[in-house]
């Protein structure tokens, strides 16, 4: 199975009550529970012991081939090792002949010890290379977008993140990074947990009244993209600037 082609479609998840190691363990356990998923390799930060995850860039890593899902799950639970990237096969089957990457996203903030890393599964996004403009989305692309939405919503329901997003070649920031710089592109197609962000969701509705909301069991999926909406039409995205929505959400999360 080949390595996924760029751009990467990233499904990112943030858990306020989990460390980065705990978050990647939760994501890996969910993805690897299916019989069709076969781990290929894992990138491991060795001698991990209380390392601040925003300051680990110069520490040695090794790439290790793994024989089974059980071996990988033992590794992600090891307190002396930190798995930062896992290459798997068949996790979502979005692009059947391309492997997929589970990764712990870096923290850029200088003080990340009070902030758990976001995690993501990166999927091949080359199929997104089509002319947007005002032309209708090709039927094949619409079906792929609907599949991405189904996968994302299933992850959200099972994992119960604090917030999550669908992005292209852009990592979902942790709260401490948003406090450092709230100018984010992550919140255009995203989920907010009602446990953490019920008041923010109400404020978004007031400030962006034409936005598309989809009620989920644990929160709301908010989208500015027809491709990931799951419905035939959404309110005119030109009624507001999607970036203004994303930055507004980033700034609000940064102050909470």
Quote the mean pLDDT of the chain: 83
Judged by DSSP in three states, 155 sits in helix
Task: At 40, list the tokens.
Answer: 């290929």
Task: Summarize pLDDT for 47-68 with one digit per residue, the tens.
Answer: 555 444 444 555 566 777 776 7
The pLDDT score that the predictor gives to residue 51 is 47
Higher-pLDDT residue of 234 and 86 is 86
* pLDDT band at residue 148 using 50, 70 and 90 as cut-offs: very high
**Cis amide bond preceding 122, omega within 30:** no
**Cis amide bond preceding 7, omega within 30:** yes
Higher-pLDDT residue of 5 and 11 is 11
Rounded to two decimals, the pTM is 0.89
Is the predicted pLDDT of residue 157 greater than 60, yes or no?
yes
Higher-pLDDT residue of 124 and 36 is 124
d(CA 125, CA 68): 27
Domain ranges of the chain: 9-254
The pLDDT score that the predictor gives to residue 36 is 46
Task: Summarize pLDDT for 88-143 with one digit per residue, the tens.
Answer: 887 888 998 898 999 989 888 776 566 788 999 999 998 887 655 556 778 888 88
Q: Mean pLDDT, to the nearest integer, of 205-214?
A: 88
Backbone φ and ψ for 56, nearest 5 degrees, come out as: -100, 10
Residue 117 contacts residue 65 (beta carbons within 8 Å):
no
Task: At 186, list the tokens.
Answer: 């992550």
Is the predicted pLDDT of residue 7 greater than 70, yes or no?
yes
């Amino acid at each position: 199975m080949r390595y996924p082609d760029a751009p990467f479609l990233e499904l990112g998840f943030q858990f306020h009550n989990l460390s980065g190691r705990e978050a990647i363990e939760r994501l890996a356990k969910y993805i690897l529970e299916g019989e069709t998923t076969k781990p290929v390799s894992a990138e491991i930060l060795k001698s991990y012991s209380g390392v601040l995850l925003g300051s680990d860039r110069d520490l040695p890593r090794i790439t290790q081939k793994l024989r089974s899902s059980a071996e990988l799950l033992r590794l992600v639970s090891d307190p002396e090792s930190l798995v930062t990237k896992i290459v798997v096969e068949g996790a979502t089957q979005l692009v059947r002949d391309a492997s997929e990457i589970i990764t712990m996203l870096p923290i850029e903030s200088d003080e990340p010890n009070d902030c758990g890393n976001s995690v993501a599964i990166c999927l091949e996004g080359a199929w997104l290379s089509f002319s947007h403009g005002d032309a209708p989305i090709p039927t094949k692309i619409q079906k792929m977008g609907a599949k991405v939405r189904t996968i994302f919503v299933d992850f959200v329901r099972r994992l119960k993140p604090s917030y999550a997003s669908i992005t292209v070649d852009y990592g979902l920031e942790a709260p401490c990074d948003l406090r450092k710089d709230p100018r984010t592109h992550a919140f255009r197609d995203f989920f907010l947990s009602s446990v953490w962000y019920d008041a923010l969701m109400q404020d978004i509705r007031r400030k962006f009244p034409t936005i598309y909301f989809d009620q989920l069991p644990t929160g709301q999926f908010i989208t500015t993209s027809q491709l990931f909406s799951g419905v035939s039409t959404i309110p005119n995205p030109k009624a507001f600037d999607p970036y203004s929505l994303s930055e507004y959400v980033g700034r609000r999360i940064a102050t909470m």
